[in-house]
Amino acid sequence: MARFPFPSFPNGWFQFAYADELSPGQVMPLEYFGKQLVAFRGDDGAAHVLDAYCPHLGAHLGHGGRVEGDTIRCPFHAWRFDGEGKCVEVPYATRIPPTARLGCWPVIERNGLLLVWHHAEGKAPEFDIPELPEVGHEDWTPYRRLRWKLRTHNQEMAENAVDRAHFHFVHGTMDVPTSEAKAEGHLLRVVSKSKMMTPRGPIDGQISSVNHGFGFGTVRFSGIVETLLVTSVVPIEGEHVDVRFSFSVKKIGNADVTRGVGAALIADIEKQMTEDRPIWENKVYQPRPVLCEEDGPIGVFRRWCQQFYTAQPPSTHGALAAAGAAA
């Protein structure tokens, strides 16, 4: 039995870097969705993602490619490509072969993140990612960043939020939290309420999460301290995901107090990740799970998930994107 019997890599927006990791003139090799990709930021400030392998003789543009203006030059024979993947110069030829083009991936910059649109059939973006009011606001701290490579799948990680019983048995919450999930198109909103232990005794804590497809999500914690967690999960090949968690804490008291309270919550999330990890990395996905009535909104979650898959092999992305751009 395949561990993850899903028909394609999921469609959606996925973080490939933080915005400040890619400065103008910089080139970055990427491996996501089972593909080799290259990211670069032109001197005009716009970030681009292209298929990495040069259509000429196959050099990887992420290793030795150089940015010139808003284009990238191949390290092998110096063919030059624009941000849409079109070849704009072959320095030793008079005629540019018309099919000289790299697959181009839509990119947006939001909330300090760079995100790429993946669609298994190369379709254009079907939704947007909103600006978050907390990010960059003077009352909120800059991101604290955590990153993991995990042997699991986007859908498996996302299912955690609606799997209320595991919070008690895996993470040791005082009770089994209540959990309500609502699907609105590409959005899934989940609200969980639970008793949280504090040095001053138990209080009612609330966790509200919004998933924008499988790649980008927000989790807002209230109860002890208001915290925003931006979650980012990207498929690497079929077996692993690249996970980035970015925390911002609402400032309270002086900087030391904020840092202390924020650090406690972040440590707790790190602990939860350590607890979830051995389960995720070794479990299989049960397409027809045997559930009990108290299991919570797992059915709502799984129906929402279906919209992000295309029953097409994912290998056609670049070719179809290029064909679409040429048409």
What is the closest distance, in whole angstroms, from the C-beta atom of residue 57 to ligand FES in the complex? 4
What residue 64 binds from ligand FES, Fe ion, none (CB within 5 to 8 A, per partner kind)?
Answer: none
Contact between 74 and ligand FES by CB under 6 A: the answer reads: yes
Number of residues that bind Fe ion (CB under 5 A): 2
What residue 160 binds from ligand FES, Fe ion, none (CB within 5 to 8 A, per partner kind)?
Answer: Fe ion
Whether the Cβ atoms of residue 281 and residue 274 lie closer than 8 Å to each other: no
Task: CB nearer to ligand FES: give 66 or 193.
Answer: 66
Residue 222, CA distances (Å) to 165, 176, 205, 263 in order: 20, 18, 6, 15
Residues 6+ away with beta carbon under 8 Å from 31: 37, 236, 237
Phi and psi angles of residue 221, each rounded to the nearest 5 degrees, phi first = -105, 135
Task: CB nearer to ligand FES: give 91 or 199.
Answer: 91
Task: CB nearer to ligand FES: give 51 or 134.
Answer: 51
Whether the Cβ atoms of residue 321 and residue 105 lie closer than 8 Å to each other: yes
Task: CB nearer to ligand FES: give 58 or 299.
Answer: 58
Contact between 36 and Fe ion by CB under 5 A: the answer reads: no
Residues 6+ away with beta carbon under 8 Å from 122: 103, 316, 317, 318, 319, 320, 321, 323, 324
In this structure, the number of other CB atoms found within 10 A of the CB of residue 301 comes to 22
**What is the token pair recorded at 268?**
């707790």
Contact between 76 and ligand FES by CB under 6 A: the answer reads: yes
Helix or strand run (H / E) with residue 196: strand 187-198
What is the closest distance, in whole angstroms, from the C-beta atom of residue 48 to ligand FES in the complex? 17
What residue 37 binds from ligand FES, Fe ion, none (CB within 5 to 8 A, per partner kind)?
Answer: none
Q: DSSP secondary-structure letter at 289? A: -
What is the closest distance, in whole angstroms, from the C-beta atom of residue 90 to ligand FES in the complex? 8
What residue 56 binds from Fe ion, ligand FES, none (CB within 5 to 8 A, per partner kind)?
Answer: ligand FES
Q: How far, in Å, CA of 83 to CA of 79, rounded?
A: 14
- The binder of ligand FES chosen from 3, 77, 168, 195 (CB under 6 A): 77
What residue 74 binds from Fe ion, ligand FES, none (CB within 5 to 8 A, per partner kind)?
Answer: ligand FES
In this structure, the number of other CB atoms found within 10 A of the CB of residue 311 comes to 8
Q: How far, in Å, CA of 191 to CA of 31, rounded?
A: 33
Contact between 276 and Fe ion by CB under 5 A: the answer reads: yes
- The binder of ligand FES chosen from 3, 19, 56, 183 (CB under 6 A): 56
What is the x/- site pattern for ligand FES, positions 36-55, by CB under 6 A? ------------------x-
Contact between 221 and ligand FES by CB under 6 A: the answer reads: no
Q: Give 72-129 as a DSSP string.
A: EE-TTT--EEETTSBEEE-TT-SS--TT-B--EE-EEEETTEEEEEE-TT-PPP-S--
Contact between 105 and ligand FES by CB under 6 A: the answer reads: no
What residue 258 binds from Fe ion, ligand FES, none (CB within 5 to 8 A, per partner kind)?
Answer: none
Q: DSSP secondary-structure letter at 182? A: E
Could you tell me which stretch among 41-49, 70-78, 172-180, 234-242 binds ligand FES (CB under 6 A)?
70-78
Phi and psi angles of residue 326, each rounded to the nearest 5 degrees, phi first = -80, -25
- The binder of Fe ion chosen from 26, 36, 160, 206 (CB under 5 A): 160
Residues lying near ligand FES in the complex (CB under 6 A) are found at 54, 56-59, 74, 76-77, 79
Residues lying near Fe ion in the complex (CB under 5 A) are found at 160, 276
